[in-house]
Amino acid sequence: MARRYELIVFDWDGTLLDSAGAIAACIQAAARELGVPEPSDEAARHVIGLGLSDALARAMPELPSERYPQAVDRYRHHFLSQDQDLSLFPGAFSLVEALHGLDLLLAVATGKSRLGLSRALDTSGLKSYFHATRCADETHSKPHPAMLEEIMAELGMTPEQTLMVGDTTHDLLMAKNAGVDAVGVSFGAHPKEALLGEKPVACFDRFADLNDWLLKCVRREA
């Protein structure tokens, strides 16, 4: 009998990598350098998961559009100075390894650039476990369904066979737009109340609970 899901797609920042706080701080630092109002922690966290230019434009609405490249440059300066010091959530590596060992297809759909994701995959040691990846500078940004649709097409999977795991409403809306089930995690960028508003099939406050649910779910016979 087929398993409930054959393809698990993870967001990266705030879902596998404990980076939401660092990203928000870098957005705030960039705003200070550019002389525009610094977004609150909540506002900075809300844009995590979007493509970088879109995220910074939303976080700094007072910034003229011709200065967006400066914002991108300053954000990257701050983030790249520390990204190799960021760590996966405890249990993330072993979960991905276990899912791979169950012959599941695994993928990443992220608001990071291709260069940024490549650095992160190399640093984390997880690169060999993922069968497909999509980044915001290669296709439409979340919550457009393109990332999931392209991953499913590449791997020969249907929406019914696919599960999206993410820490933002952008992830959950992307899944909804693609007709894919989604799981929310509240230990990343967006609060649990916002995630539950998008009606995921489950939402977890701890990585250990996500781990237990996923492994049980994919081992269950339909």
Domains in the chain: boundaries = 7-19+87-219, 20-84
1.10.8.100, 3.90.260.10, 3.40.50.1000, 3.30.420.40: CATH of 7-19+87-219: 3.40.50.1000
Residues 68-106 have pLDDT tens digits of 999 999 999 999 888 788 999 999 999 999 999 999 999
Cβ burial of 38 (10 Å; 0-12, 13-18, 19+) is middle
| Regions of the chain with pLDDT less than 50 | 1, 221-222
Provide the annotated active-site residues. 11, 13
What is the pTM (predicted TM-score) of this model? 0.93
Write the burial class of residue 178 (CB in 10 Å: 0-12 exposed, 13-18 middle, 19+ buried): buried
Assess whether the region 7-19+87-219 and the region 20-84 belong to the same CATH fold.
no
Question: What does the DSSP assignment read for 120-149?
Answer: HHHHHT-GGG-SEEEETTTSPPTTSTHHHH
The topology under which CATH files domain 20-84 is DNA polymerase; domain 1 (1.10.150)
